[in-house]
A and B are shown apart, each in its own frame.
Chain A
Amino acid sequence: MPAGRARPEAVLVTTSAAPLIIETRGLTKRFGSRTAVADVDLTVPAGCAFGFLGHNGAGKTTVIRMLTGLTQPDSGTIRIGGRPLPGHHQEVLARVGAIIEEPRFHHHLTGRENLRVIAAVRDPQARRRIEPALERVGLAGRAGDRVGGYSQGMRQRLGIARCLLADPGLIILDEPMNGLDPGGILELRRLIADLVAEGRTVFISSHLIDEIEKTCHAAAVIDRGRLIAQGPIAALLGDGGRSLEDWFLALTARIGAPS
Protein backbone atom coordinates (compact mmCIF):
# COMPACT_ATOMS: atom_id res chain seq x y z
CA MET A 1 0.00 0.00 0.00
CA PRO A 2 1.49 3.36 -0.85
CA ALA A 3 2.07 5.75 2.03
CA GLY A 4 -0.72 8.27 2.20
CA ARG A 5 -3.69 5.87 2.05
CA ALA A 6 -5.80 5.56 5.20
CA ARG A 7 -5.20 2.55 7.44
CA PRO A 8 -8.23 1.95 9.59
CA GLU A 9 -6.66 -1.13 11.21
CA ALA A 10 -3.99 0.90 13.03
CA VAL A 11 -3.58 -0.10 16.68
CA LEU A 12 -3.25 2.93 18.92
CA VAL A 13 -3.27 2.29 22.64
CA THR A 14 -2.85 5.21 25.01
CA THR A 15 -2.70 4.26 28.64
CA SER A 16 0.32 6.10 30.03
CA ALA A 17 -0.30 9.14 32.20
CA ALA A 18 3.37 10.14 32.06
CA PRO A 19 4.25 13.43 30.36
CA LEU A 20 5.31 13.05 26.77
CA ILE A 21 8.97 13.45 25.90
CA ILE A 22 8.31 13.14 22.15
CA GLU A 23 5.10 14.22 20.49
CA THR A 24 4.70 14.52 16.75
CA ARG A 25 1.58 15.54 14.87
CA GLY A 26 1.07 14.86 11.18
CA LEU A 27 4.79 14.40 10.61
CA THR A 28 5.42 14.01 6.90
CA LYS A 29 8.57 13.83 4.80
CA ARG A 30 8.80 13.42 1.07
CA PHE A 31 11.81 12.76 -1.12
CA GLY A 32 10.76 13.85 -4.58
CA SER A 33 7.57 11.99 -5.41
CA ARG A 34 8.17 9.34 -2.72
CA THR A 35 6.57 9.85 0.69
CA ALA A 36 9.00 8.39 3.22
CA VAL A 37 7.01 9.35 6.32
CA ALA A 38 3.30 10.11 6.18
CA ASP A 39 1.19 11.81 8.81
CA VAL A 40 2.92 10.27 11.83
CA ASP A 41 1.45 11.05 15.27
CA LEU A 42 4.06 9.60 17.61
CA THR A 43 3.73 9.91 21.39
CA VAL A 44 6.55 8.72 23.62
CA PRO A 45 6.05 8.91 27.39
CA ALA A 46 8.97 10.20 29.44
CA GLY A 47 11.07 7.89 31.60
CA CYS A 48 10.71 4.63 29.71
CA ALA A 49 12.47 2.51 27.12
CA PHE A 50 10.48 2.91 23.93
CA GLY A 51 10.89 0.66 20.92
CA PHE A 52 10.42 1.98 17.41
CA LEU A 53 9.81 -0.98 15.15
CA GLY A 54 9.68 -1.34 11.44
CA HIS A 55 11.05 -3.29 8.53
CA ASN A 56 14.11 -1.94 6.72
CA GLY A 57 13.09 1.12 4.75
CA ALA A 58 9.89 1.62 6.76
CA GLY A 59 10.83 5.19 7.68
CA LYS A 60 12.42 4.74 11.12
CA THR A 61 15.65 6.57 10.36
CA THR A 62 13.85 9.37 8.55
CA VAL A 63 11.72 9.95 11.65
CA ILE A 64 14.86 9.94 13.82
CA ARG A 65 16.59 12.39 11.49
CA MET A 66 13.63 14.73 11.86
CA LEU A 67 13.60 14.30 15.66
CA THR A 68 17.28 15.27 15.79
CA GLY A 69 16.92 18.26 13.48
CA LEU A 70 19.04 16.75 10.71
CA THR A 71 16.28 17.02 8.18
CA GLN A 72 13.18 19.17 8.21
CA PRO A 73 9.68 17.71 7.87
CA ASP A 74 7.62 18.84 4.89
CA SER A 75 4.65 19.18 7.22
CA GLY A 76 3.65 18.39 10.77
CA THR A 77 5.03 19.37 14.16
CA ILE A 78 7.57 17.95 16.60
CA ARG A 79 7.64 18.66 20.32
CA ILE A 80 10.41 17.27 22.48
CA GLY A 81 10.06 17.75 26.22
CA GLY A 82 7.03 19.93 25.48
CA ARG A 83 8.97 22.38 23.30
CA PRO A 84 8.63 22.72 19.54
CA LEU A 85 11.79 21.57 17.78
CA PRO A 86 12.25 24.26 15.14
CA GLY A 87 11.64 27.06 17.67
CA HIS A 88 13.84 25.67 20.47
CA HIS A 89 16.29 23.73 18.38
CA GLN A 90 19.38 24.42 20.51
CA GLU A 91 17.82 24.04 23.95
CA VAL A 92 16.00 20.84 22.98
CA LEU A 93 18.91 19.10 21.28
CA ALA A 94 21.35 20.14 24.01
CA ARG A 95 19.68 17.51 26.22
CA VAL A 96 19.29 14.84 23.55
CA GLY A 97 21.92 12.18 22.86
CA ALA A 98 21.59 10.27 19.62
CA ILE A 99 23.21 7.55 17.60
CA ILE A 100 21.87 7.92 14.09
CA GLU A 101 22.40 4.93 11.81
CA GLU A 102 25.84 3.54 12.66
CA PRO A 103 28.05 5.55 15.02
CA ARG A 104 30.78 7.36 13.08
CA PHE A 105 34.01 8.82 14.42
CA HIS A 106 37.28 10.38 13.39
CA HIS A 107 39.32 7.21 12.99
CA HIS A 108 42.63 9.04 13.40
CA LEU A 109 41.64 10.24 16.88
CA THR A 110 41.47 8.17 20.06
CA GLY A 111 38.17 7.34 21.69
CA ARG A 112 38.76 9.99 24.33
CA GLU A 113 39.71 12.61 21.73
CA ASN A 114 36.55 11.88 19.77
CA LEU A 115 34.54 12.56 22.90
CA ARG A 116 36.51 15.77 23.45
CA VAL A 117 35.50 16.93 19.97
CA ILE A 118 31.79 16.49 20.73
CA ALA A 119 32.12 17.81 24.28
CA ALA A 120 33.61 21.03 22.89
CA VAL A 121 30.48 21.56 20.80
CA ARG A 122 28.15 20.82 23.72
CA ASP A 123 27.87 22.75 26.97
CA PRO A 124 30.94 23.56 29.12
CA GLN A 125 30.12 20.77 31.61
CA ALA A 126 30.25 18.09 28.91
CA ARG A 127 34.01 17.73 29.14
CA ARG A 128 33.72 16.67 32.79
CA ARG A 129 31.39 13.85 31.72
CA ILE A 130 33.95 12.24 29.39
CA GLU A 131 35.68 9.96 31.90
CA PRO A 132 32.48 8.87 33.70
CA ALA A 133 30.91 8.11 30.31
CA LEU A 134 33.90 6.02 29.25
CA GLU A 135 33.80 4.15 32.54
CA ARG A 136 30.10 3.54 32.18
CA VAL A 137 30.37 1.91 28.77
CA GLY A 138 33.48 -0.07 29.76
CA LEU A 139 35.90 1.71 27.45
CA ALA A 140 38.08 3.53 29.98
CA GLY A 141 40.94 1.09 29.40
CA ARG A 142 40.91 1.55 25.61
CA ALA A 143 40.05 5.26 25.46
CA GLY A 144 43.61 6.16 24.51
CA ASP A 145 43.57 3.91 21.43
CA ARG A 146 42.74 5.23 17.99
CA VAL A 147 39.16 4.50 16.98
CA GLY A 148 40.39 3.04 13.69
CA GLY A 149 41.38 -0.03 15.70
CA TYR A 150 38.06 -0.41 17.51
CA SER A 151 35.66 -3.27 16.85
CA GLN A 152 32.08 -2.55 15.80
CA GLY A 153 30.90 -3.28 19.32
CA MET A 154 33.43 -0.86 20.81
CA ARG A 155 32.25 1.84 18.41
CA GLN A 156 28.66 1.24 19.48
CA ARG A 157 29.71 1.65 23.11
CA LEU A 158 31.70 4.77 22.30
CA GLY A 159 28.61 6.09 20.51
CA ILE A 160 26.61 5.61 23.69
CA ALA A 161 29.34 7.35 25.69
CA ARG A 162 29.06 10.23 23.23
CA CYS A 163 25.31 10.37 23.92
CA LEU A 164 25.96 10.56 27.66
CA LEU A 165 28.04 13.74 27.29
CA ALA A 166 24.76 15.63 26.93
CA ASP A 167 23.49 14.35 30.29
CA PRO A 168 20.49 13.57 28.15
CA GLY A 169 16.87 13.42 29.16
CA LEU A 170 16.25 11.63 25.88
CA ILE A 171 18.59 9.11 24.25
CA ILE A 172 17.83 8.06 20.68
CA LEU A 173 19.52 4.87 19.53
CA ASP A 174 19.15 3.78 15.91
CA GLU A 175 19.78 0.05 15.59
CA PRO A 176 22.08 -0.03 18.65
CA MET A 177 22.44 -3.82 18.68
CA ASN A 178 24.04 -3.92 15.24
CA GLY A 179 27.48 -5.49 15.42
CA LEU A 180 27.23 -6.44 19.09
CA ASP A 181 28.01 -9.97 20.21
CA PRO A 182 25.65 -11.66 22.70
CA GLY A 183 27.69 -10.35 25.65
CA GLY A 184 27.59 -6.85 24.21
CA ILE A 185 23.84 -7.04 23.71
CA LEU A 186 23.40 -8.14 27.33
CA GLU A 187 25.57 -5.23 28.53
CA LEU A 188 23.60 -2.79 26.40
CA ARG A 189 20.33 -4.14 27.76
CA ARG A 190 21.58 -3.56 31.31
CA LEU A 191 22.83 -0.08 30.44
CA ILE A 192 19.47 0.88 28.94
CA ALA A 193 17.70 -0.39 32.06
CA ASP A 194 20.06 1.70 34.23
CA LEU A 195 19.49 4.80 32.14
CA VAL A 196 15.73 4.40 32.40
CA ALA A 197 16.05 3.87 36.15
CA GLU A 198 17.74 7.28 36.30
CA GLY A 199 14.63 8.82 34.78
CA ARG A 200 15.91 9.13 31.22
CA THR A 201 13.94 8.08 28.16
CA VAL A 202 15.62 5.69 25.75
CA PHE A 203 14.10 5.62 22.27
CA ILE A 204 15.35 2.55 20.41
CA SER A 205 14.81 2.06 16.72
CA SER A 206 15.32 -1.52 15.66
CA HIS A 207 14.18 -4.32 13.46
CA LEU A 208 15.33 -6.81 16.12
CA ILE A 209 11.90 -7.32 17.63
CA ASP A 210 13.02 -9.84 20.21
CA GLU A 211 15.41 -7.26 21.69
CA ILE A 212 12.74 -4.59 21.78
CA GLU A 213 10.45 -6.97 23.67
CA LYS A 214 13.20 -7.67 26.23
CA THR A 215 14.27 -4.05 26.62
CA CYS A 216 11.28 -1.78 26.15
CA HIS A 217 8.09 -0.95 28.00
CA ALA A 218 6.26 0.61 25.09
CA ALA A 219 6.63 0.59 21.34
CA ALA A 220 5.42 2.00 18.07
CA VAL A 221 5.37 0.34 14.68
CA ILE A 222 5.99 2.16 11.44
CA ASP A 223 5.26 0.48 8.15
CA ARG A 224 5.82 2.03 4.74
CA GLY A 225 6.01 5.46 6.30
CA ARG A 226 2.83 5.24 8.39
CA LEU A 227 2.50 4.67 12.10
CA ILE A 228 0.32 1.58 12.45
CA ALA A 229 0.54 0.88 16.18
CA GLN A 230 1.79 2.37 19.40
CA GLY A 231 1.32 1.89 23.11
CA PRO A 232 2.57 -0.19 26.04
CA ILE A 233 3.84 -3.54 24.77
CA ALA A 234 1.63 -5.50 27.16
CA ALA A 235 -1.44 -3.65 25.90
CA LEU A 236 -0.45 -4.09 22.26
CA LEU A 237 -0.02 -7.84 22.66
CA GLY A 238 -3.25 -8.31 24.61
CA ASP A 239 -4.03 -11.65 26.18
CA GLY A 240 -3.24 -13.83 23.20
CA GLY A 241 0.08 -15.06 24.58
CA ARG A 242 1.87 -14.10 21.38
CA SER A 243 5.42 -12.83 21.20
CA LEU A 244 6.01 -9.29 20.00
CA GLU A 245 7.63 -10.72 16.89
CA ASP A 246 4.55 -12.78 15.99
CA TRP A 247 2.30 -9.81 16.69
CA PHE A 248 4.50 -7.49 14.60
CA LEU A 249 4.66 -9.84 11.62
CA ALA A 250 0.92 -10.46 11.74
CA LEU A 251 0.21 -6.74 12.03
CA THR A 252 2.46 -5.64 9.19
CA ALA A 253 1.18 -8.46 6.98
CA ARG A 254 -2.44 -7.53 7.72
CA ILE A 255 -1.95 -3.78 7.28
CA GLY A 256 0.11 -4.28 4.16
CA ALA A 257 -2.28 -6.73 2.54
CA PRO A 258 -4.41 -5.35 -0.30
CA SER A 259 -7.96 -4.69 0.87
Chain B
Amino acid sequence: MSRAVTGPMITADILKLRRHRATMAAAAALSVGVTALYLAVVLGRHHGQLPGVRTLGDGTSLMGLYFGSFAATLIGAEAGTIDLTAGVFRDLAATGRPRTALFLTRIPAAIAVALAFTLTGFALTIGAALAFHGSAPAPGPGLIAASALWVVLATAVVTALAVGVGSLTGSRAVTLTAIIGWQTVASGMLYLATFLGAARDLVLVFAVSRFQPGPAIGTRANPGSSNALNTLKLPMPAIVAIVVILGWLIIPAVAGAWRTRNRDA
Protein backbone atom coordinates (compact mmCIF):
# COMPACT_ATOMS: atom_id res chain seq x y z
CA MET B 1 0.00 0.00 0.00
CA SER B 2 1.29 3.41 -0.92
CA ARG B 3 2.08 5.92 1.81
CA ALA B 4 1.01 8.75 -0.45
CA VAL B 5 -2.15 10.65 -1.11
CA THR B 6 -3.74 9.26 -4.27
CA GLY B 7 -6.21 10.62 -6.80
CA PRO B 8 -8.98 8.22 -5.74
CA MET B 9 -8.54 9.33 -2.12
CA ILE B 10 -9.04 12.97 -3.10
CA THR B 11 -12.02 12.04 -5.27
CA ALA B 12 -13.54 10.13 -2.34
CA ASP B 13 -13.10 13.12 -0.04
CA ILE B 14 -14.72 15.38 -2.63
CA LEU B 15 -17.62 12.91 -2.79
CA LYS B 16 -18.08 13.08 0.98
CA LEU B 17 -18.26 16.87 0.83
CA ARG B 18 -20.43 17.36 -2.21
CA ARG B 19 -23.00 14.83 -0.98
CA HIS B 20 -23.37 16.82 2.25
CA ARG B 21 -26.46 18.71 1.21
CA ALA B 22 -26.70 21.16 4.10
CA THR B 23 -23.08 22.28 3.71
CA MET B 24 -23.40 22.57 -0.05
CA ALA B 25 -26.63 24.57 0.23
CA ALA B 26 -25.07 26.94 2.78
CA ALA B 27 -21.94 27.36 0.66
CA ALA B 28 -24.04 28.08 -2.44
CA ALA B 29 -26.12 30.65 -0.56
CA LEU B 30 -23.00 32.36 0.81
CA SER B 31 -21.20 32.52 -2.52
CA VAL B 32 -23.54 32.52 -5.51
CA GLY B 33 -26.62 33.66 -3.56
CA VAL B 34 -24.95 36.62 -1.90
CA THR B 35 -23.27 37.67 -5.14
CA ALA B 36 -26.59 37.56 -6.99
CA LEU B 37 -28.22 39.59 -4.23
CA TYR B 38 -25.42 42.16 -4.28
CA LEU B 39 -25.62 42.53 -8.05
CA ALA B 40 -29.41 42.87 -7.92
CA VAL B 41 -29.17 45.62 -5.30
CA VAL B 42 -26.49 47.56 -7.18
CA LEU B 43 -28.35 47.18 -10.45
CA GLY B 44 -31.45 48.55 -8.77
CA ARG B 45 -29.57 51.49 -7.28
CA HIS B 46 -27.91 52.36 -10.57
CA HIS B 47 -31.01 51.96 -12.73
CA GLY B 48 -29.88 48.84 -14.56
CA GLN B 49 -26.24 49.78 -14.94
CA LEU B 50 -23.17 48.66 -13.01
CA PRO B 51 -19.92 50.56 -12.55
CA GLY B 52 -17.86 47.78 -14.16
CA VAL B 53 -14.46 48.07 -12.46
CA ARG B 54 -15.92 48.92 -9.07
CA THR B 55 -18.36 46.02 -9.32
CA LEU B 56 -15.55 43.63 -10.14
CA GLY B 57 -13.56 44.88 -7.13
CA ASP B 58 -16.54 44.50 -4.80
CA GLY B 59 -17.37 41.04 -6.19
CA THR B 60 -13.76 40.00 -5.73
CA SER B 61 -13.81 41.14 -2.10
CA LEU B 62 -17.15 39.40 -1.52
CA MET B 63 -15.63 36.07 -2.60
CA GLY B 64 -12.07 36.47 -1.31
CA LEU B 65 -12.65 38.29 1.96
CA TYR B 66 -16.22 37.90 3.07
CA PHE B 67 -19.02 35.58 2.07
CA GLY B 68 -17.02 33.39 -0.28
CA SER B 69 -14.45 33.11 2.47
CA PHE B 70 -17.19 32.02 4.88
CA ALA B 71 -18.24 29.33 2.40
CA ALA B 72 -14.63 28.18 2.07
CA THR B 73 -14.28 28.08 5.86
CA LEU B 74 -17.46 26.03 6.13
CA ILE B 75 -16.20 23.52 3.58
CA GLY B 76 -12.72 23.34 5.12
CA ALA B 77 -14.14 22.83 8.58
CA GLU B 78 -16.41 20.09 7.26
CA ALA B 79 -13.50 18.38 5.50
CA GLY B 80 -11.41 18.50 8.67
CA THR B 81 -14.07 16.97 10.89
CA ILE B 82 -16.39 14.87 8.73
CA ASP B 83 -14.72 11.48 9.29
CA LEU B 84 -14.44 12.06 13.01
CA THR B 85 -18.03 13.17 13.53
CA ALA B 86 -19.33 10.25 11.43
CA GLY B 87 -17.21 7.82 13.45
CA VAL B 88 -15.53 6.58 10.27
CA PHE B 89 -12.05 7.84 11.10
CA ARG B 90 -11.16 4.67 12.98
CA ASP B 91 -12.17 2.55 9.98
CA LEU B 92 -9.95 4.64 7.72
CA ALA B 93 -7.08 4.43 10.20
CA ALA B 94 -7.52 0.66 10.52
CA THR B 95 -6.82 0.21 6.80
CA GLY B 96 -3.14 0.86 7.50
CA ARG B 97 -3.03 3.97 5.31
CA PRO B 98 -0.81 6.50 7.11
CA ARG B 99 -2.87 9.03 9.01
CA THR B 100 -0.78 11.86 7.61
CA ALA B 101 -1.98 10.84 4.14
CA LEU B 102 -5.57 10.80 5.41
CA PHE B 103 -5.07 14.37 6.66
CA LEU B 104 -3.29 15.64 3.55
CA THR B 105 -6.07 14.28 1.32
CA ARG B 106 -8.55 16.64 2.92
CA ILE B 107 -6.78 19.81 1.80
CA PRO B 108 -6.93 19.51 -2.02
CA ALA B 109 -10.42 17.98 -1.82
CA ALA B 110 -11.75 20.86 0.28
CA ILE B 111 -10.03 23.48 -1.88
CA ALA B 112 -11.50 21.95 -5.05
CA VAL B 113 -15.02 22.05 -3.61
CA ALA B 114 -14.62 25.55 -2.17
CA LEU B 115 -13.25 26.90 -5.46
CA ALA B 116 -16.30 25.58 -7.29
CA PHE B 117 -18.41 27.96 -5.22
CA THR B 118 -16.21 31.05 -4.99
CA LEU B 119 -15.27 30.96 -8.66
CA THR B 120 -18.92 30.54 -9.63
CA GLY B 121 -19.79 33.60 -7.56
CA PHE B 122 -16.87 35.45 -9.09
CA ALA B 123 -17.91 34.40 -12.61
CA LEU B 124 -21.36 35.81 -11.90
CA THR B 125 -19.75 39.13 -10.99
CA ILE B 126 -17.65 39.17 -14.16
CA GLY B 127 -20.68 38.41 -16.30
CA ALA B 128 -22.69 41.19 -14.71
CA ALA B 129 -19.79 43.68 -14.82
CA LEU B 130 -19.32 43.02 -18.51
CA ALA B 131 -23.00 42.92 -19.42
CA PHE B 132 -24.27 45.93 -17.49
CA HIS B 133 -21.37 48.39 -17.36
CA GLY B 134 -23.22 50.77 -19.66
CA SER B 135 -21.20 53.92 -20.37
CA ALA B 136 -18.69 53.17 -17.60
CA PRO B 137 -15.47 51.36 -18.60
CA ALA B 138 -15.65 47.58 -18.55
CA PRO B 139 -13.00 45.70 -16.58
CA GLY B 140 -10.12 44.58 -18.82
CA PRO B 141 -8.93 40.98 -19.19
CA GLY B 142 -5.78 41.69 -17.18
CA LEU B 143 -7.74 42.91 -14.17
CA ILE B 144 -10.21 40.04 -14.48
CA ALA B 145 -7.40 37.47 -14.59
CA ALA B 146 -5.56 39.06 -11.65
CA SER B 147 -8.78 39.21 -9.64
CA ALA B 148 -9.59 35.57 -10.45
CA LEU B 149 -6.13 34.46 -9.35
CA TRP B 150 -6.52 36.39 -6.14
CA VAL B 151 -9.89 34.74 -5.43
CA VAL B 152 -8.21 31.36 -5.99
CA LEU B 153 -5.39 32.30 -3.58
CA ALA B 154 -7.73 33.67 -0.91
CA THR B 155 -10.06 30.66 -1.15
CA ALA B 156 -7.25 28.12 -1.06
CA VAL B 157 -5.56 29.76 1.94
CA VAL B 158 -8.66 30.04 4.11
CA THR B 159 -9.87 26.55 3.15
CA ALA B 160 -6.52 24.99 4.05
CA LEU B 161 -6.53 26.93 7.31
CA ALA B 162 -10.01 25.60 8.12
CA VAL B 163 -8.98 22.02 7.32
CA GLY B 164 -5.98 22.34 9.64
CA VAL B 165 -7.93 23.89 12.50
CA GLY B 166 -10.84 21.47 11.99
CA SER B 167 -8.50 18.48 12.10
CA LEU B 168 -6.86 19.91 15.20
CA THR B 169 -10.03 20.66 17.16
CA GLY B 170 -12.28 17.93 15.76
CA SER B 171 -15.17 20.36 16.10
CA ARG B 172 -16.83 22.08 13.19
CA ALA B 173 -18.54 24.65 15.42
CA VAL B 174 -15.30 25.64 17.16
CA THR B 175 -13.49 25.87 13.83
CA LEU B 176 -16.15 28.04 12.22
CA THR B 177 -16.38 30.35 15.20
CA ALA B 178 -12.62 30.70 15.56
CA ILE B 179 -11.83 31.32 11.90
CA ILE B 180 -14.76 33.51 10.94
CA GLY B 181 -14.38 35.45 14.19
CA TRP B 182 -10.67 35.97 13.61
CA GLN B 183 -10.82 36.62 9.87
CA THR B 184 -13.65 39.12 9.97
CA VAL B 185 -14.39 40.57 13.39
CA ALA B 186 -10.91 40.56 14.95
CA SER B 187 -9.07 41.31 11.72
CA GLY B 188 -11.56 44.07 10.90
CA MET B 189 -10.79 45.73 14.22
CA LEU B 190 -7.06 45.29 13.73
CA TYR B 191 -7.35 46.86 10.31
CA LEU B 192 -8.64 50.01 11.93
CA ALA B 193 -5.93 49.91 14.62
CA THR B 194 -3.45 51.99 12.61
CA PHE B 195 -1.28 52.57 15.68
CA LEU B 196 -0.10 48.93 15.39
CA GLY B 197 1.75 49.86 12.22
CA ALA B 198 3.67 47.04 10.53
CA ALA B 199 2.70 44.56 13.28
CA ARG B 200 -0.58 44.24 11.41
CA ASP B 201 1.33 42.51 8.60
CA LEU B 202 1.15 39.31 10.65
CA VAL B 203 -2.62 39.13 10.21
CA LEU B 204 -3.49 36.55 7.56
CA VAL B 205 -6.23 38.46 5.84
CA PHE B 206 -4.00 41.51 5.36
CA ALA B 207 -1.20 39.37 3.94
CA VAL B 208 -3.61 37.75 1.49
CA SER B 209 -5.13 41.12 0.62
CA ARG B 210 -1.64 42.35 -0.25
CA PHE B 211 -2.08 40.57 -3.57
CA GLN B 212 -5.60 41.76 -4.27
CA PRO B 213 -5.69 43.93 -7.41
CA GLY B 214 -6.15 47.61 -6.63
CA PRO B 215 -4.35 50.23 -4.59
CA ALA B 216 -3.40 49.82 -0.94
CA ILE B 217 -4.74 52.16 1.71
CA GLY B 218 -2.13 54.62 3.03
CA THR B 219 1.61 54.08 2.88
CA ARG B 220 3.94 51.80 4.83
CA ALA B 221 5.25 54.75 6.81
CA ASN B 222 1.78 56.06 7.41
CA PRO B 223 -0.68 53.19 7.17
CA GLY B 224 -4.17 54.44 6.72
CA SER B 225 -7.58 52.97 7.35
CA SER B 226 -10.82 52.79 5.52
CA ASN B 227 -14.34 52.56 6.79
CA ALA B 228 -15.47 50.94 3.56
CA LEU B 229 -13.74 47.61 4.26
CA ASN B 230 -14.26 46.56 0.65
CA THR B 231 -10.55 45.93 0.68
CA LEU B 232 -8.20 45.10 3.54
CA LYS B 233 -5.08 45.85 1.55
CA LEU B 234 -2.23 47.34 3.53
CA PRO B 235 1.07 48.49 2.05
CA MET B 236 3.43 45.64 2.90
CA PRO B 237 6.33 44.08 0.99
CA ALA B 238 5.31 41.05 -1.06
CA ILE B 239 7.94 38.85 0.57
CA VAL B 240 6.53 39.64 4.02
CA ALA B 241 3.06 38.75 2.79
CA ILE B 242 4.30 35.45 1.34
CA VAL B 243 6.09 34.50 4.56
CA VAL B 244 3.03 35.37 6.65
CA ILE B 245 0.73 33.34 4.37
CA LEU B 246 3.08 30.35 4.46
CA GLY B 247 3.21 30.58 8.24
CA TRP B 248 -0.57 30.61 8.48
CA LEU B 249 -0.70 27.60 6.15
CA ILE B 250 2.09 25.51 7.61
CA ILE B 251 1.50 25.91 11.34
CA PRO B 252 -2.19 24.85 11.35
CA ALA B 253 -1.45 22.10 8.82
CA VAL B 254 1.33 20.66 10.99
CA ALA B 255 -0.90 20.92 14.06
CA GLY B 256 -3.81 19.27 12.22
CA ALA B 257 -1.59 16.49 10.88
CA TRP B 258 -0.07 15.91 14.31
CA ARG B 259 -3.52 15.67 15.91
CA THR B 260 -4.73 13.31 13.16
CA ARG B 261 -1.70 11.08 13.72
CA ASN B 262 -2.11 10.99 17.49
CA ARG B 263 -5.85 11.16 17.87
CA ASP B 264 -7.51 8.25 19.67
CA ALA B 265 -9.44 6.63 16.84
How far, in angstroms, from A103 to B264 measured CA to CA in the complex? 17
B residues less than 8 Å from A122 (CB atoms): 1, 95, 97
Q: Are B9 and A120 in contact (CB under 8 A)?
A: yes
What residues of chain B lie closer than 8 Å to A17, measured between beta carbons?
none
Chain A residue numbers with a CB within 8 Å of B12 are 116-117, 119-121
A146 (CB) vs chain B CBs: closest residue: B19
B107 to chain A, nearest CB (A): 16
Hey, which chain B residues are within 8 Å of A93, CB to CB? 94-96
Contact with B along A102-126 (1 / 0, CB 8 A): 0111111100010011111111100
Check A127 against B19 for contact (C-beta < 8 Å). no
Indicate whether A71 reaches chain B with its CB closer than 8 angstroms. yes
Once the chains bind, are A69 and B15 in contact (CB under 8 Å)?
Answer: no
A92-B96, A118-B91, A123-B1 known; A113-B264 Cβ under 8 A? no
A70 touches B97 (CB 8 A): no
CB pair B15 A113 closer than 8 Å = yes
Distance (whole angstroms) from the CB of A113 to the closest CB of chain B: 6
Q: Is the CB–CB distance between B102 and A121 below 8 Å?
A: yes
In the complex the two chains form, is B1's CB within 8 Å of A117's CB?
no
**Which residues of A have CB within 8 Å of B11?**
120
Decide yes or no: A68 and B97 within 8 Å by CB, A91-B1, A120-B11, A122-B1 being known contacts. Answer: no
CB atoms of B91 and A127 under 8 A apart: no
User: Would A69 and B96 count as touching, CB distance under 8 A?
Assistant: yes
Total contacting residues, chain B, CB less than 8 A: 28
Q: Which chain B residues border A113 with CB–CB below 8 Å? A: 15, 19
* B220 within 8 A of partner (CB): no
Given contacts A113-B15, A117-B16, contact A106 B86 (CB under 8 A): yes
Complex contact B265–A70 (CB within 8 A) = yes
Q: B139 at the A/B interface (Cβ < 8 Å)?
A: no
Q: B104 to chain A: closest CB distance in Å?
A: 12
Are the CB atoms of B20 and A90 closer together than 8 Å?
no
Q: Which residue on chain A has the smallest CB distance to residue B86?
A: A106
* CA distance in complex: A162, B91 (Å): 9
In the bound complex, how far is the Cα of B240 from the Cα of A213, in angstroms?
Answer: 69
Contact A104 B94 (CB under 8 A): no
A109 in contact with B19 given A120-B6, A122-B1 (CB within 8 Å) = yes
CA gap between A118 and B94 in the complex, in Å: 10
Q: 8 tightest A-B contacts by CB?
A: A93-B96, A104-B87, A120-B12, A120-B8, A90-B96, A68-B94, A70-B265, A94-B1
A–B Cβ pairs within 8 angstroms, 18 of them = A68-B94, A70-B90, A70-B93, A90-B1, A90-B96, A96-B96, A104-B87, A104-B91, A106-B19, A108-B19, A108-B20, A109-B15, A117-B88, A120-B6, A121-B9, A121-B12, A123-B1, A162-B91
- Other than the given A91-B1, A106-B86, A119-B12, 10 more pairs (CB < 8 A) read A68-B94, A69-B93, A90-B3, A90-B98, A100-B94, A105-B86, A106-B16, A106-B82, A109-B16, A117-B16
